[in-house]
């Protein structure tokens, strides 16, 4: 694993379209809330994976409390919710955090599919 941690860029409704929907490569969006315990456990893993997948997948985050319109638009009913976007479309989604191994397996599969498609 890459030892460089990479802070995720926080998006709002104002920059979501530019950063996610118009992105040329795959983008993984972490919909989270600051009061969510599993979100806090997931955050350092996302930062690590952002470094590991640098140049392949862009990682960003959206605070659903600050961007309720995005949470509504993408039907976020629980946090954390991770969505993978490619070509402006949501192509994969996982709700909840079941542990680092399961998350990494999903991310590897999703990222590899995003890179090779």
Q: How would DSSP label each residue in 67-115?
A: -HHHHHHTT--SSSEEEEEETTEEEEEEES---HHHHHHHHHHHHHHHH
Cα–Cα distance for residue pair 82/85, rounded to 1 Å: 10
**Set 33, 36, 57, 62: catalytic member:** 36
**Set 11, 20, 39, 46: catalytic member:** 39
Beta-bridge partner residues of 81: 31, 95
Assess whether 45 carries a catalytic annotation. Answer: no
Assess whether 43 carries a catalytic annotation. Answer: no
* Catalytic sites, residue numbers: 36, 39
């Amino acid at each position: 694993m890459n030892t460089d941690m990479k802070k995720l860029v926080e998006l709002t409704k104002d920059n979501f379209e530019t950063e996610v929907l118009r992105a040329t490569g795959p983008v993984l969006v972490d919909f989270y809330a600051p009061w969510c315990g599993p979100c806090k456990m997931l955050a350092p893993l996302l930062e690590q994976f952002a470094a590991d997948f640098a140049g392949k997948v862009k990682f960003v985050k959206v605070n659903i409390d600050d961007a309720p319109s995005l949470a509504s638009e993408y039907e976020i009913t629980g946090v954390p919710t991770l969505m993978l976007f490619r070509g402006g479309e949501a192509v994969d989604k996982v709700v909840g955090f079941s542990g680092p191994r399961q998350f990494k397996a999903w991310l590897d599969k999703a990222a590899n599919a995003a890179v090779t498609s």
